[in-house]
Amino acid sequence: MQTFSAQFAESRYPAGMAGILRLIRGEMELVEAEFARQANSNVQVISYLGEYLRASGGKRVRPALLVLANKAAGGEGSSENVIRLATVMEMIHTATLVHDDIIDNAATRRNTVTVNAKFGNQAAVLMGDWLYMSAFETSLKERSLEILYILTELTRKMTEGELIQLTMLGRTDISEEDYFDILRRKTAYLFSACCEIGAILAGADPNEREELRNYGMNLGTAFQLADDVLDFTADKQVLGKASGADLLEGKLTLPLILLVRKDPSVCALLEQIMRTGEYDSGIREQLLGKLEKSGTLEETRSTAHRFAAKAVKNLELLPETRYGEALGEVPSLMINRKN
């Protein structure tokens, strides 16, 4: 089994993020072991698929946030319930990725063949369902209706986000309001839930809990905005998936929404790409040139930085600890990442 330390050594995050993760390396090793245990089953095919997903890596950002939030709010971090819930959040995240890859017909993620491409859609759907149900079964051990409500609401919002996005595929008239609604549902609420649950497990007061919840929401928004820029600017090998993947799937993200508003004539090019699936180097360079010339990539980066600054401000109520300081460093590191 690949340890968190081994995965961590392969990370392309800046050195600052590496230092932050070292703060909680022990806790993350426990999360990795718990994930491996949870993915094991007496049904052989489930164990095989579960190990395939676990070994495919991922940065484990969401469980790390739960652990950091817990310790920043005065929790122990390594306690059984914290490790269990951190693992639940990673299982839910993994389930969403499995289902998203089916919907998007994605062949690779993190430079690894997706479950649907390798084993077929039927196995992928059922494995995603199994991960969801296992996560909820594990969360029941906490005997907390409060936490169960957060997880249930989170799963509903993520599903709604996917459904809303499906109704907008192939459209070039997406508004910023539509975009941010989908972003919050599909990405930011999960970051927010991780931080809030970490606070709850630490016994944080209502104000600290609210601020950590808002921190996660702002961080998740900044994270996704940075991801949308990377979709156009990052190398495929570094990004771990095809560049321009969102556009090829018929999704307009903020850089393109802003570009359409500034230059409506670009709609013909976008519709051509979405219709034909052609995004060779020539077309990519043409579109990238329009994005850079219009300033919409820089505008999106600036918006990401604004949300990152909001996230840092959300931490002002927390006591001064190295874990709170680490949370304060995360937003800028997230939006300056390479993948």
Q: What is the pLDDT of residues 265-323, one digit of tens each?
A: 999 999 999 999 888 878 899 999 999 999 999 999 999 999 999 999 999 999 999 99
Asked if residue 13 has pLDDT above 70, the reply is: no
The CA R_g of the chain, rounded to the nearest whole Å, is: 20
State the maximum Cα–Cα separation within the chain, in Å, rounded to a whole number: 57
CATH number of the domain within which 231 lies: 1.10.600.10
The percent of the chain in helix, strand and coil, each rounded to the nearest 5, is 75, 0, 20
3-state DSSP assignment of residue 125: helix
Q: What is the pTM of this model?
A: 0.91
* Residue 56 within any structural domain of the chain: yes
More confident position, 202 or 4: 202
Residue 290 and residue 297: Cα distance in Å, rounded? 10
Give the pairing type, strands 108-109 and 112-113. antiparallel
Q: What is the mean predicted confidence (pLDDT) over 105-116?
A: 86
Would you state the pLDDT for residue 72?
A: 97
* Residue 237 within any structural domain of the chain: yes
* Residue 156 within any structural domain of the chain: yes
Backbone angles phi and psi of 107, in degrees to 5:
-100, -30
For residue 316, give the amino acid letter.
E
* Residue 274 within any structural domain of the chain: yes
* Residue 129 within any structural domain of the chain: yes
The pLDDT-based confidence of 5 (bands split at 50, 70, 90) is very low
% the chain with pLDDT above 70? 92
Asked if residue 11 has pLDDT above 90, the reply is: no
* Residue 339 within any structural domain of the chain: no
Q: What is the pLDDT of residues 21-54, one digit of tens each?
A: 889 999 999 999 999 998 888 788 888 888 888 8
* Residue 338 within any structural domain of the chain: no
Asked if residue 8 has pLDDT above 80, the reply is: no
Identify which of 72, 70, 66 has the alpha carbon closest to the alpha carbon of residue 318. 72
Domain count, the chain: 1
* Residue 169 within any structural domain of the chain: yes
Residue range of the domain that includes 133: 4-333
